[in-house]
Amino acid sequence: METPPPAPLPHVTEPPAPAPPGPGPTPERPLGFVAAAGIGVAAIVGGGIFVLGGVAVAEAGPSAILAFALNGVIALLTAMAFAELATTFPENGGQYVYARRTFSVQAAFGVGWIMTFAHVVAAVLYALGFAVYAVAAAEAIVPAFAGSGLVGLVTPALALLATAVYGWRLTRGVAAGGQWENVGKLVVFGVLIAAGLATVVQRGPAEALAPLSPFLERGATGVVAAMGFTFITMQGFELIAGVAGEVRDPRKNVPRAMFASLGVALAVYLPLLLVVTTVGLPEGATSPAQLARDNPETLFAVAASAYLGSFGFWLVIVAALLSTLTALQANLLAGSRVALAMARHRTLPRGLARMDARTGAPIMAIGFVCLSAALLILAIPDLAAAGAAASLIFLLTFAITHYSAWQVRKRAGGLVSGAWASPFFPLVPLVGMAACGLMVLFQVVTVPSAALLLVAWAGFGAFVYATFLSGRAEALDAAVSGGDPQFGRLRGRRRSVLVPLANPASAGGLASVAGALAPPQVGRILLHQVVVAGIDADEAHIRKAMQEGSAALSNALVRTRAEGVETELLLTVSETPWDEIARVARAEEVSSVLLGLAQTPDGGEGADEAGRPAHPIDRLMERLPSDVALLHAGADFDLDRVRRVLIPLSGHNDHDRLRARVIGTLARKGLEHLSFVHVLAPDAPPEAERRALAALQTYVGDEARGRGEAHVARAADAIGEIVKRAAGYDLLVLGITRPRGGKSRMGALLARMVREAPCPVLIISHPPLLRGRGGRPF
């Protein structure tokens, strides 16, 4: 049967993130259209062209103008993708948020990690650019300084000083793009362009424009090479999307600000390059490319001197200093906001989410970005290397952004309500993705050192994530996914749950839990009846078994349909029901298996004569690669009526993500009170109690999103203490470790817990992780 297309999504807003540690307000929305556009203008206009324009002209000659124009086209296509995504998800984080919404938390970490690095490298580029022009000014004022041998020390020192000053400004809450600096540099650019065009008219177009021939001085290869080195000069419009959570009326102001800043950049770049490569050639210069090769970092100052004398030189110096400083601040701002979003989602250490109590600035994230930039200032040898690395990283992430925009529109069944619509869908994201991808390949081939730098950073990040961050990040992500079914829909993921049924009385309760494990719109529930009968079973036995199973299936089907979850019915016949359940679970590739515990499990421990776990559920779990949940509850149990939940915990375990998803679903269904408890031995040292409480508070912040309690108890009888505390709760959630080495986990422990618990018990288990991090049930 054909599945109807999904209904378009409403405007997507994620539930509030966990409160960051320490005091401090969450950034509000202080930025209007002018301030938001100022961030883009600060980042794009001037800094890049002054720092890398000489490299572009050296590579392509006069056709550097074409290289910048083509980069502008790619940037415009990319801005359309950003505009649609930023108005779909109007929150801080930019590409990191889009990857998290569209793909997975692991992919989001990868994108956020390299995006933070990209902004850091861009900040390094502009800090060094500022230092180079400051040194050029010093040499012009004090000619003896050029040969003093101090240049090699002063350049990185000035770059470090600029990074420190503008980082400090950000900690004071200065988030806008440096409006006075923006106005000042645009005035200077206007004077440079106007004077140059006046010189073209004065000399006559034929004479003045003669240096443009031959236009393709270095051929098409030179144009593409120049595009690769200088794409970073178009970077900056996406910084507005990265701070969309701080922009007023983001659905209107974010797209307008991005397109306005990009338009201002092109209106400055193209005529300025025309002037520099024509009337900017001093007497005796053979070609623009040769002049650029002789003066790669100060080309524009030399060119301005050719038609404005020393006044033109100082105009360029002033414009370059203002441009590089505003671009430095904008990239430090964007990098810190990506790091802040990652820390709130636990894909970076939670300490980076700390906010200043007075200004509301993310001081730890700013410090992290500034420190990283300072280290790279001392490590990166020159501006060309920094520009190539930054361009490669931005091109790669822009290609991913185009893919995200395409996938969000496709999976959402159309444009999300209220979002800005990119025209000619899906042509714009596909063309943009292809253009960025081809540029990435060209960069990898022509500048392998930039690719190696990116690979080294990505590899280091993968190690850090897998070793230190993955557990908490994926648990928090599971909690958010459980609370917001649209997460799974936008990611294109479907969760399926197999529910074997035999008892009609418990079928409705099991179905309510299945709806939590397989949420609406993205889930599938497979209701399974196993008719236990051998080849020689008589007709009466089969009819009775089918009659009981049919009642169970009917009760469960009514409930799952009420949940709005796609449901299928499956009837199979087998002599060994546990083996049949395992076979069906593998054949259907289900995400979870949900079983009812109608009776108290026996108290046996250990293994049978064959060395297998003694309890049949242990044997089943040993064979299943999926999550397993066991419910022991009365006939009237309904997960929708659960308001108070108790969760015993102890140390690390394999089922954090499954538990977090259940908690997220319970929160969506109206959970009112959640308690985590850790039971210590009476003689445990005080330090153990402090560590246990800190760990529980982490769970409260991540999985319960700050809405829960943490308790540490001392008792010689841990099970008895938990049973006593469970009085007054609607559900006890217990995680167990899968059997390893043939030892049963379903014996006396659960026998007593299920027998004595005063409330329903939900037992969850995740397959053992490859990293071998085990855990105890509590």
Listing DSSP states for 729-766 in one string gives -SEEEEE-PPP-TT--SSSHHHHHHHHH-SS-EEEEE-
The residue-averaged pLDDT of 339-364 equals 91
Q: Which of 487, 393, 467 is nearest to 112 (CA)?
A: 393
Q: How does DSSP classify residue 31?
A: B
C-alpha–C-alpha distance, residues 136 and 529, integer Å: 81
pLDDT tier at 73, thresholds 50, 70, 90: very high
Query: What pLDDT score was predicted for residue 651?
Result: 64
**String of DSSP letters for 125-155:** HHHHHHHHHHHHHHHHH-GGGGGSS-HHHHH
Residues 167-209 pLDDT 10s: 999 998 765 545 777 788 888 889 999 999 999 999 998 888 9
Q: Taking 70 as the threshold, does the pLDDT of residue 483 lie above it?
A: yes
Residues 380-424 pLDDT 10s: 756 666 667 777 888 898 999 999 999 888 888 787 888 899 898
Residues 440-469 pLDDT 10s: 888 888 888 888 888 888 999 999 999 999
- Residue 38: its H or E element: helix 33-44
Query: What pLDDT score was predicted for residue 709?
Result: 93
Residue 204: left if φ>0, alpha if ψ -120 to 50, beta else—which one?
Answer: left
pLDDT tier at 637, thresholds 50, 70, 90: very high
Q: Taking 70 as the threshold, does the pLDDT of residue 10 lie above it?
A: no
The residue-averaged pLDDT of 632-658 equals 86
Query: What pLDDT score was predicted for residue 758?
Result: 94
Residues 659-687 pLDDT 10s: 888 898 888 888 999 999 999 999 999 99
Q: Taking 90 as the threshold, does the pLDDT of residue 607 lie above it?
A: no
Residues 683-725 pLDDT 10s: 999 999 999 999 899 889 888 877 889 999 999 999 999 999 9
Q: Residue 526, SS3?
A: strand
**String of DSSP letters for 685-729:** -HHHHHHHHHHHHHHHHHTSTT-SEEEEEE-S-HHHHHHHHTTT-
Q: Answer whether 646's CB lies under 8 Å from 675's CB.
A: yes
C-alpha–C-alpha distance, residues 347 and 464, integer Å: 10
The residue-averaged pLDDT of 228-242 equals 86
Q: Taking 50 as the threshold, does the pLDDT of residue 775 lie above it?
A: no
Using the Cα atoms of residue 176, residue 177, residue 180 and residue 183 in order, give the sign of their dihedral: negative
Query: What pLDDT score was predicted for residue 498?
Result: 96
Instruction: Report the amino acid identity of residue 339.
Output: A
Query: What pLDDT score was predicted for residue 773?
Result: 35
Integer-rounded Cα Rg, in Å, for the chain is 32
Residues 511-530 pLDDT 10s: 999 988 887 777 899 999 99
Phi and psi, residue 266, nearest 5°: -65, -35
Q: Answer whether 647's CB lies under 8 Å from 679's CB.
A: no
Q: Taking 90 as the threshold, does the pLDDT of residue 747 lie above it?
A: no
Provide the CA 630 distance to its chain's centre, in angstroms.
33
Q: Which of 309, 310, 288 is nearest to 299 (CA)?
A: 288
Query: What pLDDT score was predicted for residue 219?
Result: 86
Q: What is the mean pLDDT of the chain?
A: 84
* Angle value at C-alpha 658, between 653 and 662, nearest 5 degrees: 130
Query: What pLDDT score was predicted for residue 174?
Result: 62
Query: What pLDDT score was predicted for residue 178?
Result: 57
Share of the chain above pLDDT 70, in %: 88
Query: What pLDDT score was predicted for residue 745?
Result: 54
